[in-house]
Amino acid sequence: MTDMQQLYLLVPMAPLAGAIIAGFFGKAIGRAGAHWVTILGVFVSLVASWFIYQDVERGNLFNGTVYTWATSGGLSFEVGFLIDKLTVTMMLVVTFVSLMVHIYTIGYMVNDEDNWPADSLAGRNSYQRFFAYISLFTFSMLMLVMSNNFLQLFFGWEAVGLVSYLLIGFWSTRPTAIYANLKAFLVNRVGDFGFLLGIGLIAAYCGTLNYTEVFALSQVLSGTTVELIPGLPWMLVTVVCICLFIGAMGKSAQFPLHVWLPDSMEGPTPISALIHAATMVTAGIFMVARMSPLFELSDAALSFVIVIGAITAFFMALIAIVQTDIKRVVAYSTLSQLGYMTVALGASAYSAAMFHLATHAFFKAVLFLGAGSVIIAMHHEQDMRRMGGLRKYMPITYLTVLIGALANAGFPPFAGFFSKDSIIEAVRLSTTPGASFAYLMVLAGVFIGGLYSFRLVFFAFHGKERFRDAEPHGHDDHGHHGPVEPKESPWVVTVPLILLAIPSVIAGWVMIGPALFGNYFGGAIYIAPEHPAIARMAADFHGAMGMIAHGLMTLPFWLALAGAATAWYLYIARPDLPAVIKQKSGVLARILERKYGFDEFNEWFFAGGARLLGRGLWKVGDQTLIDGLVVNGSAKLIGWVASIVRLFQSGYIYQYAFSMIIGVFVLLTLWMNRV
């Protein structure tokens, strides 16, 4: 194994080592030992990723097997790495955001014992356990993005799902947390079933799970048809891509498999930032970008992707404008932004999707961690209706959240402007069926994005100090009574906020040229000649400053500005109007507050259907058929037979002799008739 290969192995193994030490020896090493060992592990991973990035910049790519687990029927099950520009970009984003979250967690979880009942065994060493979980989460994501085969991809895919289950339900004494992690687990199993079907089809028709080998055989997939419905042939590559994307719909929370993500806010804020910014929800986006050689062969699959993304981008943004929980506003913002990335994938603008994934990781982490800083200051109050006027008490948090909101809304010159505008332009130029619908949705989503982003800023940081009039009624009051006196969070909270706010400003300037128009990703992303959106955009690109100057005259900028202005008017100038609008909206407001009724439908149809099926199997299958017919029926039959046989078991010898004579007579009669 070469030195670079050892370095590749070090990237995922360092967080894993930290997770093992903190998880199994947390009591021995204590709280400080747990956070230092996990932070060190992620820091080592970040430094190693940087050196690998520099090596890749010099043109040194790697695609090879580290360990062969098994070989069966010519199919190899391997652990291997594919190191290219797409991989190292994800490695840097994941490890940097994870490191900031680890540092932030020291301040956020410092009083975690207050979240547990006094007699709860789960509350013992919970601080150490949480650090073990987030470090294990980082390991899982790194194994996913570094894989060179579908088996390892699936391992990382399921591992992030498993650890997310542990993290979302971390406060396991709360029924809402248990419901949320179960919901996330079950919804993701739906998506993962499709994902596994896609991998199974690839293994069956290609005879390999290695990315490079599958891509080389892509014409086999495109030239083969299958009949899912008799008489209706489908291109195999279309079926494979749609199945893979169904997996992405679960992980990246796309309509209608989005319902788990807002409820995941029941977990501690650091994991909300980690899941929603740089890890789990971006796994689906990364996977589709990695599979671009397959998706480019099917316009039907791309059309499916772009329509699903457009629906998610617009309709999830609408829900954000009626949320009052500060974390849920950011959660629905994440759903909408993931919709933008998905739309870019459907428009064959994979580089734009990855560009937005990177910028979004920074500014969304800022928004989540900033929301967590506010929650700390408000004694774990999350309702924005009990906040207001916090900017003078928390200037650092306010400034960083404002930067995150500006980037999220897509204002120049912040990072989100470059990536979001690139997506909108790529969709406008796309030839994918459904692109016109997607363009209208993402344009409308820009206005809504400006509205909900600045609604959060104005609601929480400006206006009347409503927390002085409110009774303590937070997500977790921690026993606090009396009026809240907010103050700026400690340095372990504010330093990560500042460090994440910096790329939220400058990342777009640095990345726009090489990432979109400079062949940054090289051969890692394939775009067919018949999908020229990015190529046409490159002809009109004249540097970052030119894009800013042009952006100030385009419709997306004015829509974002209109959204921000609307938020100012409703929550600063006329704070009485939102209640009036809600009253006048009637049914529309109730639809948004009920999140289009998806939770009720799932509870009635899927959960209720499952309960009905279970009751039917219990009553009919178990009680009637098994217990009634098989068990009790067989017992009754044996009893009846025994009652008849009992008549012949009298104990009198003459009766037995008479029976034998009759039997011999019958036997001889039958034998003679036979002859």
Q: How many CB atoms lie within 10 A of CB 521?
A: 21
* 42-56 tens-digit pLDDT: 999 999 999 999 999
Which residues on neighbouring strands pair with residue 77, listed in sequence order? 70
Helix, strand or coil, per DSSP, at residue 599:
helix
Nearest to 356 by CA among 368, 346, 342, 366: 342
CB 137 within 8 A of CB 233: no
Please give the Cα distance from 429 to 422 (Å, whole number). 11
Q: How far apart are CA 587 and CA 571, in angstroms?
A: 22
The candidate with the shortest Cα–Cα distance to 104, out of 372, 367, 314, is 372
User: What pLDDT score was predicted for residue 648?
Assistant: 66
**What residues of the chain score a pLDDT lower than 50?**
473-481
pLDDT of amino acid 484: 65
pLDDT of residue 610: 72
CA distance 9 to 48: 10
CA torsion angle for 359, 360, 366, 370 (degrees, to 10)? Answer: 160
Compute the distance between CA of residue 394 and CA of residue 376 in angstroms, rounded to an integer.
11
Q: Using an 8 Å Cβ cutoff, are 188 and 247 in contact?
A: no
**Counts of helices then strands in the chain (DSSP H, E):** 29, 4
Give the CA count within 13 Å in the CB-facing half-sphere of 559: 20
- Residue 617 pLDDT: 77
Q: Give the three-class secondary structure for 571.
A: helix
Residue 189: count of CB within 10 angstroms of its CB: 13
pTM above 0.85, yes or no: yes
The residues, ordered by sequence, that sit 6+ positions from 458 with a Cβ below 8 Å of its Cβ are 567, 568, 571, 572
Helix, strand, or coil (residue 575): coil
Cα(429)–Cα(306) distance, rounded to whole angstroms?
13
Q: Which pLDDT belongs to residue 477? A: 42
CB atoms within 10 A of CB 665: 10
**What is the structure's pLDDT at 159?**
92
Dihedrals phi, psi of 71, to nearest 5 degrees: -130, 125
Shortest CA distance to 285 belongs to which of 309, 261, 269?
Answer: 309
Structure-block tokens of residue 515: 């990432």
Amino acid at 9: L
Q: What is the DSSP letter of 472?
A: P
Q: Name the nearest CA neighbour of 90 among 155, 136, 157, 145.
A: 145
What's the pLDDT at 471?
58
Task: Tell me, letter by letter, the H, E, C secondary structure of 319-363.
Answer: HHCCCCEHHHHHHHHHHHHHHHHHHHHHCCCHHHHHHHHHHHHHH
